Structure 1
């Protein structure tokens, strides 16, 4: 049964070599275009333009994110310095006899 199916498939199989020989170079060019291995020059230029535009957009976005990360680092340092200043002021006021939380006196 399997042998008979294989024989039928072999009889009905397209003759690829014969088709290529019949169509020659134009057939090969069409086949390569259909497979996407060969593209027309305008399409290729458009793909290159798109590639360059996306690359530029990626680089600008990467730089913007780096600037945002740098701003967060600076803000974190500033906040840390403000907290340390507040702790120092609280400690100093406590040593001078002033309550650090005036609302707690009542």
Structure 2
């Protein structure tokens, strides 16, 4: 299924979190916190101002981003758990070094 977010919303795939602590203790999946870092899969066209002009998005597909712990709405698309959130829920863009970690 193809999915395109509307307006100033983005579709985000969470990155996996570490299953071990710094001391080597393995954390069970049920006790792990959901990561607040992800890769943008798709973006909308941008927010619409009152006068009808569109404010372009500052993020793009492929950007690695940080977002709030409780940000976004969880959805399942093609069997994959993803998040839909507004661009304003994104705290910032990180460098591309984390792109290799995929959930």
TM-score by length of 1: 0.14
TM-score by length of 2: 0.14
Structure with the higher helix share, 1 or 2: 1
Structure with the higher strand share, 1 or 2: 2
* Bigger relative CO (Cα 8 Å, ≥ 6 apart): 2
